[in-house]
Amino acid sequence: MEILYEGILELFQDGGWQRVIMWLIGGLLIYLAIKKDMEPTLLLPMGFGAIIVNIPAIYHGALGTLFKAGISNELFPLILFIGIGAMIDFGPILSNPKLMIFGAAAQFGIFLTFSLASIFFDLPDAASIGIIGAADGPTAIVVSQKLHSQYTGAIMVAAYSYMALVPIIQPPIIKLLTTKKERLIRMPYKAKEVSKTTRILFPIIITLIAGLVAPDSIDLLGFLMFGNLIRECGVLNSLSETAQKVLANLITIFLGITVATQMTADKFLQPATLLILGLGLFAFIFDTAGGVIVAKVINLFSKEKINPMIGAAGISAFPMSGRVVHKMGLAEDNQNFLLMHSIGVNVSGQIASVIAGGLILSFML
């Protein structure tokens, strides 16, 4: 009992109430993961990690070692992108390349937030904050690390939190920007046969083009496309399956619990952190809005109407955003299957967000 008493006394001697708040935040993330089934492989380790690192004198333990080994040198994000690349089927955008328009349009919030954040932060920090709008945790980590942002922790937490909260954040924005009639637009999927040669050449060509246009994106995009090449080559099926399931899930768990090392009360409960969270949400909202608005504009000039909800899937939160749009379509009309279209847009957003991060790095470095 005496040891327990001393532990409680130590907790409340120096900002103990802040640690309790962080425990509650960690508990909320665990609740959302388990009760609401919101990206549990990400939110559960983040929530539990937030509890661990706010126990007094624990920060420099094993989680700190993991952070140095996997985050500070960008190892975890790069390995994760191999798994994500192996998951992605580029068939929908190869069948309908115009879907890539929405992936590009959904990056608008990144640059708008960059401009807004520059009012409050130095340019390297503002650029790192803007990339939160990509809804792509690995890209946010790499950009903030390369730019040596002093707010890397808050940026990582914001990026991964908003990725996981896609099912909560996106639907109200989509409904606000669309009418019932627009949400009821049906888009029959006209599948076109994509040759194996095309599927193999696509990741190679995209890597070459991105390397010329945005050289600083080549680390992330190269690993993403390498993962896709493993999937499509046809001679590494067991390796592809391992990358998609075991590797991706394992690294996501490590990323989640390691990102939580930046959720210590002294770092997290600061005005700058709250401002970064607010700017990140701003970027996320305008990225979502950008894709929807571009779809609505295209409909003004197109005979074959597009359901503007699919434009929202142009953010990089793959495959969560694509699934959210598909479920919203079914909620409006249980015969309206938007999955292939929304996933196609979501895939293009994955590529566009990495290129956007590379362009920001090219601008800043």
- Condensed to tens digits (0 to 9), the pLDDT of residues 300-324 reads 998 888 999 999 998 888 888 888 9
- The model's pTM is 0.85
User: Which of 162, 165, 99 lies closest to 339, judged by CA?
Assistant: 99
pLDDT band at 74 (very low <50, low <70, confident <90, very high): confident
Is 80 exceeded by the pLDDT of residue 189?
Answer: no
Mean pLDDT of the chain: 87
Residues 54, 55, 60, CA angle at the centre, nearest 5°? 80
**CA of 222: how far to CAs of 45, 98, 205, in Å?**
27, 23, 11
Is 80 exceeded by the pLDDT of residue 21?
Answer: yes
Residue found under tokens 């990140």: 280
Average pLDDT over residues 4-23: 69
Range scoring the smallest mean pLDDT among 57-66, 123-132, 181-190? 57-66
Structural domain boundaries in the chain: 2-364
